[in-house]
A and B are shown apart, each in its own frame.
Chain A
């Protein structure tokens, strides 16, 4: 069933992906400095900007990396979204739908201030786009 599709007020400085096309196998968002130590009051939201169709047996994954520099690398071993389309059907995510959310942990190291997203796919998703941002939870 997944997430409710809530609307958010978005700070332009906290935008990770703005209609970012899923061109390539490994795609990276912008890096956002969210300030760190957000006490569980901030979250990452990823939405489909266009409809996204993961074709039969295709995979699509989204991982966040955190760190204390503008090149964050610590994934915490977590995968925010991971889908594998079955052999007999596509996975379709309508435009505007929430793909995943992650409330940024309040137990991260205090010097972690940066976050970026990695989008990984083994299918051709180049016709599709995502929006992602950090927002108050």
Chain B
């Protein structure tokens, strides 16, 4: 069933991806590394939405990982995967505007972690499909 599709006020400085195309059977980082300030006490979250319709075909996969760190080249994934799914015979479809995943940034991260980026990985050519991603208040 997944997440409710809530609307958010988005700060332009906290945008990770704005209508960013998914990769062609590979991986790509979010357009932006966002400095969210760090130590957000569980009050900030990452939201990834389908900008246009996103369809994953049978046996193909989409994976989204967040990387945190103290510099603008963050690398710590916390061994967590925000979203991963391999489509079955009926595929996976997100309508434009659907929430693909959310992650409330943990309140137990090291105090010097201030930066985050996303990495999108696909196993098929999804380059005609686009996503929006941003940090927002919970």
Give the A-B pair count, Cβ closer than 8 A.
Answer: 87
User: Is A108 in contact with B3, judged by CB distance below 8 angstroms?
Assistant: yes
Per the bound structure, the CA–CA distance linking A101 and B107 in Å amounts to: 9
The stretch of A18-26, A72-80, A114-122 in contact with B is A72-80
Please count how many residues in chain A sit with their CB below 8 Å of the partner chain's CB atoms: 30
Contact B106 A105 (CB under 8 A): no
The answer to whether B3 and A103 have CB atoms under 8 Å apart is no
The smallest beta-carbon distance between A1 and chain B, in angstroms, is 6
B108 contacts A80, C-beta separation under 8 Å: no
Question: What's the minimum C-beta distance from B135 to chain A, rounded to whole angstroms?
Answer: 14
CA gap between A105 and B84 in the complex, in Å: 17
Smallest CB-CB separation from A103: which chain B residue? B104
| B1 cross-chain contacts in A, Cβ below 8 A | 74, 109
Give complex CA distance A101, B104 in Å. 10
Contact of B80 among A41, A76, A82, A106 (CB under 8 A): A82
Q: Which of A39, A74, A103 has the most CB of B within 10 A?
A: A103
19 contacts between A and B (CB under 8 A): A2-B78, A2-B79, A40-B43, A40-B104, A40-B138, A43-B42, A43-B106, A76-B2, A77-B100, A79-B84, A82-B79, A100-B78, A100-B79, A103-B42, A103-B105, A106-B45, A106-B138, A107-B3, A137-B104
Residues of B that sit less than 8 Å from A by CB:
1-4, 6, 42-43, 45, 76, 78-85, 99-110, 113, 138
